[in-house]
Amino acid sequence: MEIMITGGAGYLGSVVTNVALQKKYRVKTIDCLWFDHRVPLMHIHNPDYQFFRYDISDARCFPEYLNGVDYIVHTAAVVGEPASNKYPELTRKVNYEASIKLIDAAQEYGVKGIVFLSTCSNYGVSEGVVTEDTPLQPLSLYAETKVNVEKYLEKQNGTNWVICRLSTIYGSSPRMRFDLTVNDFAVNAFMKKYLDVFFPYTYRPYIHVYDVAHVLLKIIENFQDIKNNVFNVGFNGENYQKIAIAEIIKEFIPDLKIEIVEKGTDLRDYQVDFSKLKKLLNVDITYTVKDGVKEIINLLRNGIIDNPYEEKYYNTNIKT
């Protein structure tokens, strides 16, 4: 089986690439290398791996990397509210316009299916626990672009698809990010022994990046049985308030000072139900938030990453 992973050198895409190669799939990855040019070196000698440094919005490149592809895992995007606010035109171009071109091309080249990476941020602010049928309330340009691609996919007759609304991701990756809540909290707690926690009692679901990768490959393996479905991707029991994450970190850093701030710009607050994913794919959790916190602290404590504040670890520093 041949899988194409867009954004394959990114935070999530590089981990999906690792897992797919471990499962002996042939993997094509496409990435602009906005952040770290070294990531493709991990697999460059693997005969099952091909890397293309392309802009996915450039349709002239489609024949080279879409021929022979069975499934597309579409992770490429300007990810997150801060980055989309800083680069609004690029966000619309990559997240929406390029995605539409790719979806249309998938049908033309006979791709069996596309797995589209969306976000639970689409729920915005919701009372109670949301399911895949809960009305969407995107609060940012990032979420709006994801919702719009979802709507386009759902109207397709020729291209089969699966939409994955991801929980907030955490954990280590070959293209590391420290601008995600769990990773960010762990870094600042370790480096500064101090945390500002804005809107501490708001909820959000969280998932380790390797758990996401395993879910995505399981979707590919079962695609024909579950195609044209929307899934919340995460695990029941993994909805956390921000203050709870800070308290978990304090278990590892006892002298951590936590400052509660009852204001901020991020208004998202939602708890998500993941029963549909469990029922149809029977996936189990590997890592909890506590595991992720320990992992990040060990990265820093062991000097694997000595300066977590370098620009390349933050999505607001795109080098186009």
What would the DSSP string read from start to end of 219-287?
A: HHHTHHHH-SEEEEES-TT-EEEHHHHHHHHHHH-TT-EEEEES--S---EEEE--HHHHHHH------
Q: Per-residue pLDDT for 156 more than 90?
A: no
- Asked if 297 and 234 count as a contact pair (C-beta separation under 8 A), the reply is no
Q: What is the mean pLDDT of residues 251-276?
A: 90
Pure H helices in 88-177: 88-91, 99-108, 141-154
What is the set of domains in the chain, with CATH numbers? 2-169+206-233 (3.40.50.720), 174-205+237-269+286-313 (3.90.25.10)
pLDDT exceeds cutoff 90 at 320 = no
Pairing of strands 239-241, 203-208: antiparallel
Asked if residue 264 has pLDDT above 80, the reply is no
Report how far residue 211's alpha carbon sits from residue 291's, in angstroms, rounded to the nearest whole number: 12
Report, in this order, helix, strand and coil percent for the chain, each rounded to 5: 40, 20, 40
The pTM assigned to this predicted structure is 0.96
pLDDT on residue 159:
87
pLDDT beyond 80 at 262: no
Tens of pLDDT, residue by residue over 296-313, are 999 999 999 999 999 999
> Within the chain, what is the greatest distance between any pair of CA atoms?
58
Which of 302, 91, 82 is CA-nearest to residue 179? 82
Token pair for residue 226? 């579950």
Residues 6+ apart with CB under 8 A from 276: 131, 132, 229, 231, 232
Q: How confident is the model at residue 266 (pLDDT cuts 50, 70, 90)?
A: confident
Residue pair 196/243 in contact (Cβ under 8 Å)? The answer is: no
Give 195-246 pLDDT, tens digit per residue. Answer: 999 999 999 999 999 999 999 999 999 999 999 999 999 999 999 999 999 9
Q: Which residues pair with 231 in a beta bridge?
A: 164
- What's the pLDDT band for 163 if we cut at 50, 70, 90? very high
SS3 94: helix
